[in-house]
Chain A
Amino acid sequence: GAVVSQHPSRVICKSGTSVKIECRSLDFQATTMFWYRQFPKQSLMLMATSNEGSKATYEQGVEKDKFLINHASLTLSTLTVTSAHPEDSSFYICSARRWVDNGELFFGEGSRLTVL
C-alpha cells in the first residue's frame, strides 16, 4: 500500500523555540495533505488542509501564525510549530490523499512533540 512518512517521530524542544515536522508521500503524489492533532486518549482533530502550491486552509480556532504549513511539492508538506509552549505538546498526524482508489487517505506514523 501507499506509504506516508513523518519525521521526526519524537521531538523534545524548549519553550519558545520552533519545531518543523515533515510529512512525505513516498510512492505517490499528493495534492492534498491534512494535519491533525491528537491529545492523549482523544480523537483526531483536523488542524488544516494543505494544498500543493497554495495557502493552507485552517480550521476554526487554529492559529495560522502559530502553526505554519507549507506544501511546496507534491510529496512534501511541513508543519512548523512556532514559539512552542508546553500546551503545544501533543501528537501530530498527517495524512495524504492519493487520487487513485477513490482518494483514499493514508496516514503518517505521527510525531510526538514535547515542549519543556
Chain B
Amino acid sequence: AQTVTQSQPEMSVQEAETVTLSCTYDTSESDYYLFWYKQPPSRQMILVIRQEAYKQQNATENRFSVNFQKAAKSFSLKISDSQLGDAAMYFCAYRSSTQGGSEKLVFGKGTKLTVNP
C-alpha cells in the first residue's frame, strides 16, 4: 500500500519570503500522480499543484513550484513570495494512474503553514 509522509506538522514564514514544505512517499508503482492541496480555515480543499510521475520537469503554478525527485520519492512544495492568504493546512497526496490501480487519493498528515506579517 502507498503511504505519504509529511514530516513537518507546522511551518512558519515571513510574508514575502520563501518556504518549502516536505513530502515523501512510498510506492512500488512507476506511474502515478502527486498533488499538493491547500485547506484554508474554510475547510474546502483546493488543488495547488499536480505532478505526473512520468514527467521529469517539475510542475510550476505561479508562486508555487515542486521539487520532484522520483528516485528519492520526494515531492516538496516551494512557495515563493509568501502571502498572508497562503496560511493554511497543506496536504501532500498520491494517486495511482496505472490501469487497474486505485483511484483513491492517499493523503499525508498535513503541514500547518503560518504566514507572519
Seen from chain A, the residues whose Cβ lies within 8 Å of a Cβ on chain B are 32, 34, 38, 42-44, 46, 49, 91, 93, 95, 97, 102-105, 107-110
* Pairwise interchain contact A109-B105, C-beta atoms closer than 8 A: no
Known: A43-B91, A43-B110. A49 touches B44 (CB 8 A): no
* Pairwise interchain contact A107-B45, C-beta atoms closer than 8 A: yes
Within 8 A of A (CB), among B26-75: 33, 37, 42-47, 50, 52
* Pairwise interchain contact B105-A34, C-beta atoms closer than 8 A: yes
How many residues in B have their beta carbons less than 8 Å from beta carbons of A? Answer: 19
Seen from chain B, the residues whose Cβ lies within 8 Å of a Cβ on chain A are 33, 37, 42-47, 50, 52, 91, 103-110
Among all A-B residue pairs, the 10 with the closest Cβ atoms = A107-B45, A110-B43, A43-B107, A43-B109, A109-B44, A44-B107, A46-B104, A43-B110, A107-B44, A49-B104
When chains A and B are docked, how far (Å) is the Cα of A110 from the Cα of B40?
Answer: 12
* Pairwise interchain contact A104-B91, C-beta atoms closer than 8 A: no
* Pairwise interchain contact B103-A91, C-beta atoms closer than 8 A: no
